[in-house]
Every structure is written in structure tokens, then in C-alpha cells.
């Protein structure tokens, strides 16, 4: 069996490389400082790509990545990865949100202290042989209000540091409840309240379309003239032009940046001329401990994803620990086969894919199952252009609603019920796992069956009349087609019946046409699951 190939295109600590090289599962190539065209030329032979902030994983790179399954970013954020292109191609994009939490939080708080006490300016003055005590009078942190935008791992850690210095915390984070914040001694605020009433403001949110430029001229004009701004998150969250104007007009007391719109900044960057602006060259994660931590974390994360041992810290796939992944894996497989089975039977334009869960399933994150179901339903239509990672986006692009429902009282234990709503019909198919955790179809609309959703399947809907089974058996026998499994079911005597026949190979079109001509047979279709 050939080994999977991993390309590491930015420098990674040796501790991470050692993890990837353990055993014989992977071949690891370290090729630092590849030019964009070189990366495009070489990426096609790799199963995984590990980067830091240097490599730009563009749409063009992803288009050339014919084998790529995983992109791992050793650090916080994925702004150097075209996440939309990765998702569309079905590539899992992962990062290490915890590996440099302490390092970045410490750096942010160091900048807060440097601003408060004018430490960089005083240091430069001393180095120049001066003694200017009066010039560098600062302010205390004790009793001041720190506004924290984004209470994730880093923002929460900065808030904790600040509380140790006697600061009050106002925070803006739409995803954290006021009750949870109160337990941490933090007051939740609107952005306007935070802007108007904070003495220091620190930013800890990812750079997205919503957060880009979230602090501009309008927002700065709401702030106290004594406010000091800190950004150790991503360049562009604070508009640099607005910040330059505010510093030039002394509208604010100071600012400290570790990140910039353009990195490295141009030599004529206007922010460089202000004494009240403290600048560092993207040092948030630049500690020996952080470098090792993110290398180890991304190595384990990428390794486990490639080996099917769980998916963590993915931006475009639900995170699952190994235990949850093992528990859900057979249901993910069931969902995919259920979707393929039903997707080939349904007629009309699909309007909604509705999944109903029961039993133990609601205790887990069920999104991976939903993604596999949607993939299964749409796969027969889109063939090579869809997989589980991009299935939800493709459904959304096509205007197909995806709905998940929890139903505690179900006819079958741990059942997945799939309903596909089209402009012509609603098809309902029920799936469970057998005793040995193999997928089984147990109901199609109102007909109970015991079908194996695997391989080549002949699906027949007919009137419940004598002679159908014999006609099917004779037709297949005459064509030399072997039956692997067969199951029958009916709504009630004399009503609609269903036959599901697993066969050992493709069915000639003439055989299918012959079956359609049999009296009593209403529908015949060959499925491939």
C-alpha cells in the first residue's frame, strides 16, 4: 500500500514533523519558500498540505490539488486559505486555535501595558542617551475598563489577565450568553456601548466580510479621547486610514498593532511616524512554546483526519473527537447509502432534503450525517463535482433546503428517516444499522423491507399480484444475472408491493425494459449504491 504524501510548505517545529514521520503511513516533504507557481505545479501529488501564514493557498493552488484531502494551518485563522474554494472541492481546512492562545494573549496584554506606560518610547529615549521622566508619564490599568471584542480563547485569556490587574471588562461577542459572561465577571455590551465607555479596546475576532473594517472613522468618533486601541488579531479589522487620521488629530491617546493590511508594511507606512503607535512585526504566536504547540497540534490533527481517527478544528466540517467519530462513522456510511438509494428513486426537482433522527443519535453532533446524506442524494446527479464537504454548499446554491428533525419516539431504534420533497412527490426511506453495524433499508414509503444498500440494486414497485416474483427470477436467470440478496414487502394485501434485488453486476437495458412490460409492474430502476 502506497504511503499518503504530506507537503509542509512553511517552517514547522521538529516536534510536529516527528509525529507525522512516526510509522510508515506518511511520506513528509518539507519544501519551504515555494513560489506560487511552484506550489501549483507540485501540489497535485499530495494528500495533505500544512502551512503557517507564509503560504497563500489560493483558488488556483486548490484547483491544481487533484489528490488533496486536508489543508492544515499551524496557527489561528485561515485567512491565507481560500476556504470557499477548498470547501467546493471537498478539502477539509483545519487550524490550531488553541496552540498559541497563551502566546497571543500575553502579547496583546504586553501591548496594553506598553501603551499605558509608554515603555517603547521611554526605551528608545534611554538608548538615545536621554533622561525624560516627565515626557513619558503613563496611566494605571487599575480601575480602567477594557473593551474586549471577541471572547474566544484568546479574548477570554486577555480578559482574565486584565482582571488580575483590577480592570473591569466590557465584552462584545454575539455567541456568548450574558449568563456565561457574568460567571466570568464580564459585562456583555453592544459595540456602541463598548466603544463609548472603554479606556482600552482589544480586538480578538477572525477577519471575515463582517469584521473587516469593523472599527473605522465612525466607530473611533464614538470613543473617549483617552482610549487606546490594540489589534493582535488580523490586519484590516481596524481601518488603518481611519487610525492614521485619529492619531494625527490626537482623537485617541494611542494604538498598538501586531498585524497589518499588508505584511510586511511598506517602508512609508504612515503609522510608523507616530510615537503614540506601538508596532510589532506579527509576534503574537512567536514564542518557542507556541511554535512547538501549534506544530504538535496540527500534526496530530492532520494525521488523525487522514487516518480516519476524527476531525478537529475544521472550518468546513464539524469537529469530532475519536470516540464520537467511531460512534458516528457507521451512521455516516448509512446516511451516504441511504441518500444514494433514495436519490436515484425520487422523481422531480428536489426542493427539500429532510432528515429525522432518533435513538442515541441526537446526543452527538449530527451534521456529519446530514452532510453524508445530502452528498448521497445529490451524487447521482452531480457525479464527480460533489462530496461530503461541499454537499451543503451545493444544496444551498441549488435552492435545496436541508432540514434536521429530532424524533424521540420512532418505530425503529437509532433510525435515520430520509424524506426527499420534490415538485412531484415526497419519498420517504428509513435506514438502520444491522447487528454487525451494516446499513439496512427497512422501509420505503409505507412498505417494510429488509434491503442491503450496496452495489447493483434492482428496485421494483408493483401491484401485489401473483407471478411478479417468478417473472423477475425468470428474467434475471435467462440473462445470466446472479441474485445476491432479495427482499419483498407490501403495504397490505393487494396493494403496492416493493422488491429490492441485489445483483452481481450491471443490468442490460433490454432486461429492464422486459420487466417494465410485465403486467402488474409499475416501476423498475437499476440503482448503484
Q: What are the residue boundaries of the structural domains of the chain, listed by start?
A: 4-97+290-306, 101-279, 319-445, 449-529
Strand partners, 416: 357, 431
Which option is the CATH number for 319-445: 1.20.1250.20, 3.40.50.300, 3.40.50.2000, 3.30.1330.90? 3.30.1330.90
- Please name the fold of domain 449-529: Alpha-Beta Plaits (3.30.70)
Other Cβ atoms within 10 Å of 517 Cβ, number: 9
Assess whether the previous peptide bond of 264 is cis (omega < 30° from 0): yes
pLDDT tens readout for residues 210-222: 889 999 999 999 9
Which option is the CATH number for 4-97+290-306: 1.10.287.130, 3.40.50.460, 3.40.50.720, 1.10.260.40? 3.40.50.720
Give the pLDDT of residue 152. 82
State pTM to two decimals.
0.63
Q: Which three cell numbers stand for residue 373?
A: 446524506
Give the pLDDT of residue 382. 65
Which option is the CATH number for 101-279: 3.40.50.720, 3.10.450.50, 3.40.50.300, 3.60.70.12? 3.40.50.720
The closest of 245, 52, 284, 294 to 155, measured between CA atoms, is 284
Give the pLDDT of residue 393. 79
Residues labelled as active-site residues: 234, 263, 282
Other Cβ atoms within 10 Å of 139 Cβ, number: 16
Q: Which residues of the chain have pLDDT under 70?
A: 1, 175, 382-385
Give the pLDDT of residue 384. 52
Parallel/antiparallel/unpaired status of strands 401-406 and 350-357:
parallel
pLDDT tens readout for residues 386-410: 777 778 877 887 789 999 998 877 7
**∠ CA 140-145-147, rounded to 5°:** 125
Give the pLDDT of residue 150. 92
The closest of 85, 8, 7 to 46, measured between CA atoms, is 7
Rg (C-alpha) for the chain, rounded Å, is 30
Give the pLDDT of residue 383. 52
Q: Which three cell numbers stand for residue 346?
A: 425520487
Strand partners, 497: 462, 490
The closest of 312, 292, 269, 258 to 106, measured between CA atoms, is 258
Amino acid at each position: 500500500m502506497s504511503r499518503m504524501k504530506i507537503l509542509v510548505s512553511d517552517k514547522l517545529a521538529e516536534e510536529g514533523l516527528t509525529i507525522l514521520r512516526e510509522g510508515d503511513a506518511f511520506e513528509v516533504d518539507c519544501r519551504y519558500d515555494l513560489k506560487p507557481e511552484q506550489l501549483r505545479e507540485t501540489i497535485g501529488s499530495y494528500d495533505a498540505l500544512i502551512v503557517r501564514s507564509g503560504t497563500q493557498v489560493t483558488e488556483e493552488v486548490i484547483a491544481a490539488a487533484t489528490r488533496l484531502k486536508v489543508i492544515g494551518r499551524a496557527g489561528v485563522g485561515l485567512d491565507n486559505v481560500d476556504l470557499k474554494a477548498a470547501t467546493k472541492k471537498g478539502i477539509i481546512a483545519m487550524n490550531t486555535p488553541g496552540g498559541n492562545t497563551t502566546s497571543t494573549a500575553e502579547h496583546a496584554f504586553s501591548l496594553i501595558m506598553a501603551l499605558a506606560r509608554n515603555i517603547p518610547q521611554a526605551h528608545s529615549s534611554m538608548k538615545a542617551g536621554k533622561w525624560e521622566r516627565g515626557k513619558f508619564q503613563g496611566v494605571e490599568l487599575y480601575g480602567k475598563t477594557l473593551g474586549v471584542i471577541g471572547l474566544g480563547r484568546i479574548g477570554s485569556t486577555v480578559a482574565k489577565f486584565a482582571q488580575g490587574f483590577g480592570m473591569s471588562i466590557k465584552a462584545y461577542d454575539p455567541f456568548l450568553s450574558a449568563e456565561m459572561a457574568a460567571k466570568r465577571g464580564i459585562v456583555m455590551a453592544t459595540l456602541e456601548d463598548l466603544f463609548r465607555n472603554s479606556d482600552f479596546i482589544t480586538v480578538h475576532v477572525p477577519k471575515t466580510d463582517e469584521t473587516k473594517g469593523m472599527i473605522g472613522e465612525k466607530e473611533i468618533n464614538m470613543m473617549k479621547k483617552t482610549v487606546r486601541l490594540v489589534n493582535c488579531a488580523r490586519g484590516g479589522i481596524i481601518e488603518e486610514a481611519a487610525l492614521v487620521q485619529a492619531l494625527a488629530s490626537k482623537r485617541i491617546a494611542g494604538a498598538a498593532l501586531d498585524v497589518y493590511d499588508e505584511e510586511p508594511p511598506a517602508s512609508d507606512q504612515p503609522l510608523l511616524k507616530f510615537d503614540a503607535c506601538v508596532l510589532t512585526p506579527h509576534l503574537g504566536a512567536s514564542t518557542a512554546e507556541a511554535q512547538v504547540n501549534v506544530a504538535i497540534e496540527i500534526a496530530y490533527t492532520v494525521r488523525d483526519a487522514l487516518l480516519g481517527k476524527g476531525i478537529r478544528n475544521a472550518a468546513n466540517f464539524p469537529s469530532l473527537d475519536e470516540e464520537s467519530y467511531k460512534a458516528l462513522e457507521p451512521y455516516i456510511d448509512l446516511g451516504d447509502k441511504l441518500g444514494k438509494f433514495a436519490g436515484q428513486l425520487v422523481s422531480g426537482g428536489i426542493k427539500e432534503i429532510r432528515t429525522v433522527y432518533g435513538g442515541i443519535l441526537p446526543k452527538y453532533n449530527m451534521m456529519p450525517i446530514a452532510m453524508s446524506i445530502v452528498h448521497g442524494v445529490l451524487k447521482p446527479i452531480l457525479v464527480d463535482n460533489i462530496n461530503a464537504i461541499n454537499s451543503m454548499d451545493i444544496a444551498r446554491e441549488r435552492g435545496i433546503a436541508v432540514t434536521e428533525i429530532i424524533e424521540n419516539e420512532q418505530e425503529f431504534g437509532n433510525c435515520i428517516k430520509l424524506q426527499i420533497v420534490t415538485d412531484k412527490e415526497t419519498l420517504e426511506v428509513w435506514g438502520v444499522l444491522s447487528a454487525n453495524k451494516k446499513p439496512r433499508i427497512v422501509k420505503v414509503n409505507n412498505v417494510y423491507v429488509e434491503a442491503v444498500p450496496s452495489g447493483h440494486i434492482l428496485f421494483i414497485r408493483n401491484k401485489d399480484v401473483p407471478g411478479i416474483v417468478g417473472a423477475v427470477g425468470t428474467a434475471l436467470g435467462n440473462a445470466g444475472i446472479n441474485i445476491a440478496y432479495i427482499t419483498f414487502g407490501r403495504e397490505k394485501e393487494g396493494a403496492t408491493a416493493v422488491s429490492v434485488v441485489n445483483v452481481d453486476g450491471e443490468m442490460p437495458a433490454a432486461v429492464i425494459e422486459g420487466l417494465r412490460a410485465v403486467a402488474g409492474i409499475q416501476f423498475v430502476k437499476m440503482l448503484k449504491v
